[in-house]
């Protein structure tokens, strides 16, 4: 069955079938899809099922209708490798895939388009995140029951009440996730003798991952809502590229205790290590130490050893671990040497059967993007593989501290504090502008695939008061920056199961814009606001003044129809449209408040500017 593309890429733009430039706006669905629906509580043992993530089929219409009411007609659809292939290598959960098809056909009924997001964080649930099936870890000799106990992961299940909010990113520095990511992307170079079922470890892991994604796409081939697929959420280099295995690099948590890569390796093999405490993202080392793996538990089952010990990176001398090659992983470019080849392999695997797909590759968060050139994207017939760069950005200070202060933030990329309300707003705009510029300079569209705000700010104060003005203010500033940069965007996230007590049900996060206990949407005016859905011409400027409730949109128009979303909750008394200059008679304005749409039909070319104002 040949499927015509819903959207096509055109340099830095995405166009619809009417050749209009679209602005994709929506959400991630959903944060709770990282964990099984059954059994409840995210256990790390026993049979699991992801049927019911993101929500039961019987609830799909109400959730999709709500998203469309908010102006969200585009979804980054979260699912995991584990959800598809949790029972064992090559054993796919066909009932789950049938369930996915039902959900995606419902999205199609509501006019929603999606791209499939094979999600992972810190490799897997057993290594403190989500994504890969447990058998991937078992295949290289890990005992799943010992991963956290050996100091190789921070998990809610093991830490219990001692688990520190927003610490999960530290798992990328601990052995479990770091080792698996290194083998997945760099096994051929760094562990060439490590075989699984006679197959080199990198080939084994990548082939199973890609095959599972291809099988998923085959099962969903008649879901016309799907416009494409991501290659992998927030890929991480593991140990690859570290300059010195004795040092502390890539710290993403605000505070805690961090092992060097060598400490992580030694601890995983049953040695107790004293690791340094830090604050301010590793910029300040604190007095004292924490013991990693005090009970001297090895992560490995009998008959298995650390692959880096086998590779000669370290060894045991006189009963103690000794580092032999501190620069073993140094001197390489992860994005160019490892990530890009994987992403191109992934895309090539889909090209024959899913020619209509747009691919959404991502780089490592807070690192330079993958530098895709036209030559990198060439097909055999000379055409280009369509790509949209799925950049991520968070207001890190608010996210990690779970406190909102509009007059204080930090530029996460440059590592500098920002003071003052105007300066903070400008910093958000500038941070997104830098990322978007780097992407667009390579003639690619830029999608802000993740951003958001915690709803449990100040220890859940909003849950007691029902007042979400802080979250609304934060989101408004984020969207001001998105509008200023004319970005496609999908907010993180919509979790249908969200509760005040358990948030999004993953690692204590609570960023869902939906919560039944809050009456449905939370801080809706922060994220649901006017924007151009499709433009006959080229967008030039978009700005929404929340105080005056005025939306200004400017574009270099071409003959055709331009469509804007105008939410009624911003204009309960109605709205009016003013053109500057006034239409010349060849432009017809059709206001449709009941449908939350403004339709502009033009027969001429030239600069157009309109302002939407409250009806007085």
Q: Which CATH class is domain 532-614?
A: mainly beta
Residue 250: predicted pLDDT: 75
Give the 3-state DSSP-derived string for 195-259, with helices as H, strands as E and coil as C.
EECCEEHHHHHHHHHHHHHHHHHHHCCCCCCEEEEECCCCCCCCCCCCCCCCCCCCCCCCEEEEC
Crossing angle of helices 469-484 and 457-465, in 10° steps, is 110
Q: Where are the alpha helices (DSSP H) in 441-468?
A: 457-465
The domain made up of 8-239+332-527 has a fold known as TIM Barrel (3.20.20)
Q: Which residues are catalytic?
A: 234, 450
Model pTM?
A: 0.96
Q: Which of 537, 531, 525, 533 is nearest to 612 (CA)?
A: 531
User: What is the rounded CA–CA span in Å between residue 213 and residue 323?
Assistant: 38
| Residue 143 CB neighbour total at 10 angstroms | 17
In this prediction, the residues of the chain whose per-residue pLDDT falls under 70 are 1, 254, 280-287, 583, 585
Closest alpha carbon to 121 in 52, 177, 77: 177
Rg over CA atoms, the chain: 25
Question: From CA 295, how far away is CA 311, in angstroms rounded?
Answer: 26
Enumerate the H helices of 60-163 as residue ranges.
60-69, 81-85, 94-109, 134-138, 156-159
Residues 6 or more apart from 320 whose CB is under 8 A from it? 271
Residues 6 or more apart whose Cβ sits within 8 Å of residue 606: 556, 557
Distance, CA of 574 to CA of 594 (rounded, Å): 10
> Closest Cα partner for 116 from 1, 231, 235, 234?
231
Which among 185, 282, 198 has a CA at the least distance from the CA of 237?
185
| In the chain, where the domains are located | 8-239+332-527, 255-323, 532-614
pLDDT one-digit tens code per residue, 326-373:
999 999 999 999 999 999 999 999 988 999 999 999 999 877 778 999
pLDDT tens digits for 440-456? 999 999 999 999 999 99
């Amino acid at each position: 069955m040949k499927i015509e593309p819903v959207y096509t890429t055109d340099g830095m733009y995405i166009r619809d079938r009417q050749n209009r430039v679209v602005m994709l706006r929506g959400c991630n669905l959903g944060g709770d899809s990282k964990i099984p629906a059954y059994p409840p509580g995210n256990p790390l043992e026993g049979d699991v099922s992801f049927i019911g993530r993101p929500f039961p089929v019987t609830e799909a219409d109400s959730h999709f209708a709500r998203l469309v009411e908010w102006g969200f007609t585009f979804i980054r659809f979260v699912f995991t490798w584990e959800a598809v292939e949790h029972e064992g290598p090559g054993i796919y959960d066909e009932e789950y895939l049938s369930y996915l098809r039902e959900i995606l056909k419902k999205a199609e009924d509501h006019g929603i388009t999606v791209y499939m997001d094979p999600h992972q964080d810190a490799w897997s649930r057993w290594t403190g995140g989500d994504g890969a099936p447990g058998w991937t870890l078992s295949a290289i000799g890990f005992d799943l029951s010992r991963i956290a106990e050996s100091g190789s992961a921070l998990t809610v299940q093991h830490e219990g009440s001692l688990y520190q909010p927003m610490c999960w990113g530290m798992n990328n520095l601990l052995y479990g996730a770091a080792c698996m990511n290194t083998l997945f992307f760099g096994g051929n170079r760094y562990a060439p003798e490590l075989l699984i079922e006679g197959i080199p470890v990198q080939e084994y892991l990548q082939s199973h991952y890609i095959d599972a994604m291809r099988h998923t796409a085959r099962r969903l081939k008649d879901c016309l809502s799907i416009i494409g697929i991501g290659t992998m959420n927030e890929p991480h280099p593991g140990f690859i590229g570290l300059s010195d295995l004795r040092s502390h690099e890539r710290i993403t948590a605000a505070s805690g205790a961090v092992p060097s890569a060598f400490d992580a390796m030694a601890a995983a093999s049953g040695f107790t290590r004293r690791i340094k405490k830090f604050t301010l993202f590793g910029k300040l080392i604190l007095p004292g130490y924490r013991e990693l793996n005090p009970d001297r538990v090895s992560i490995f089952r009998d008959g298995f050893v650390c692959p880096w010990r086998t590779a000669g990176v370290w060894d045991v001398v006189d009963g103690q671990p000794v580092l032999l090659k501190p620069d073993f992983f140094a001197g390489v470019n992860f994005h160019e040497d490892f990530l890009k080849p994987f992403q191109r392999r992934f895309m090539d695997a889909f090209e024959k059967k899913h020619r209509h797909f747009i691919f959404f590759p991502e780089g490592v968060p807070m690192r330079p993007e993958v530098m895709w050139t036209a030559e990198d994207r060439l097909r055999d017939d000379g055409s280009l593989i369509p790509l949209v760069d799925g950049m991520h950005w968070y207001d890190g200070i608010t996210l990690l501290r779970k406190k909102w202060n509009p007059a204080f933030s930090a530029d996460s990329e440059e590592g500098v504090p920002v003071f003052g309300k105007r300066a903070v707003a400008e910093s958000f705009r500038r941070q997104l502008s830098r990322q978007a510029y780097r992407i667009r300079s390579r003639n690619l569209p830029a999608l802000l695939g993740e951003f958001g705000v915690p709803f449990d700010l100040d220890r859940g104060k909003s849950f007691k008061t029902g007042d979400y003005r802080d979250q609304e203010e934060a989101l408004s500033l984020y969207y001001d920056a998105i509008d200023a940069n004319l970005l496609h965007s999908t907010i993180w996230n919509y979790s249908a199961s969200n509760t005040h007590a358990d948030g999004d049900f993953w690692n204590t996060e609570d960023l869902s814009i939906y919560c039944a206990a809050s009456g449905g949407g939370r801080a809706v005016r922060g994220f649901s606001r006017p924007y151009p859905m499709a433009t006959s011409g080229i967008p030039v400027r978009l700005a929404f003044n929340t105080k005056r409730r005025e939306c200004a949109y400017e574009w270099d128009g071409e003959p055709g129809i331009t469509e804007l979303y105008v939410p009624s909750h911003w204009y309960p008394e109605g709205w009016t449209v003013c053109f500057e200059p006034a239409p010349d008679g060849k432009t017809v304005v059709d206001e449709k408040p009941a449908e939350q749409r403004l339709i502009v039909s033009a027969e001429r070319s030239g600069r157009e500017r309109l302002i939407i104002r409250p009806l007085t």
